[in-house]
Amino acid sequence: MDFEAIGRVVDRVKDMDASLGSAYELPATTNSVDWGRVRAARADLASSISWAYTLRDVHADWTSDSRAKRRYTALERVHRMARELIALIKDDQLPLTPSLAPRFLTSDEDSFHVVDFSQLMVGLERLQEAAKQERARLSNADLHEAAPLSRVGGDSASLATPGNAFISRMGEAFKKGFGQEVLIKFTSDREPTGPFVSFVEAVTREMGEPMTAEGIRKAWDRAKVHGQSSEEK
């Protein structure tokens, strides 16, 4: 989210509670230090929001044992295939380099540099080594058969699903950004409300994936984030 989008999100939160979000308000002067402070604050909030979306999107990578096993196996295939390709190209009985190298231009029709044959060979060697090292890292960390968060539970229940991971991290972004615990209130008509609800509504609208107030409440309740509470407004 950019500078202006964060400003719109903050405005929605301030509409609910005017005491929040002063760190994000535009300075009344042209003082560069003041503007730099606001830019840094908004960038920090944008980063926290981005992390919530990132964790949601990579959730399967962190929680799926089957995907962890497939990734480990795929790395072995990458290592083997790169090694075999290098060996095939360098086979003295099949002098492929003299016939292949001239077909790699150093620049394309727009004069942009492109990978030449020697760089390609170096890249294949590095790919082979990278796959080997990554397999070793996963094995040493005992992640070759189990994903990092495959057995979440208890205090980690907020990470059990992509939705849980997203809303719990949005809660952390709100607490860090506005200095207030997440508290979902209800109107007299039992509609979820409060600064956090407004925050998530505004963010998801800016991101093109709008959530309703009721959807936010349900997601928050499912996440079982510690410290949550609701009260009648």
CB–CB of 116/104 below 8 Å? yes
Q: Which amino acid is at 17?
A: D
CA distance 23 to 40: 10
- For residues 162-177, average pLDDT: 92
pLDDT confidence of residue 111: 60
- What b-and-e string marks burial along 92-128, b requiring 16 or more CB atoms within 10 Å of the CB? eeeeeeeeeeeeeeeeeeeeeeeeebeeebeebeebb
Dump pLDDT digits (tens) for 70-97: 889 999 999 999 999 999 999 988 889 9
CA atoms within 13 A on the CB side of 158: 17
Q: Which amino acid is at 121?
A: M
Higher local confidence (pLDDT), 154 or 109: 109
| The overall pTM is greater than 0.95 | no
Dump pLDDT digits (tens) for 93-135: 888 999 898 888 766 666 666 778 999 999 999 999 999 999 9
Percentage with pLDDT > 70 across the chain: 84
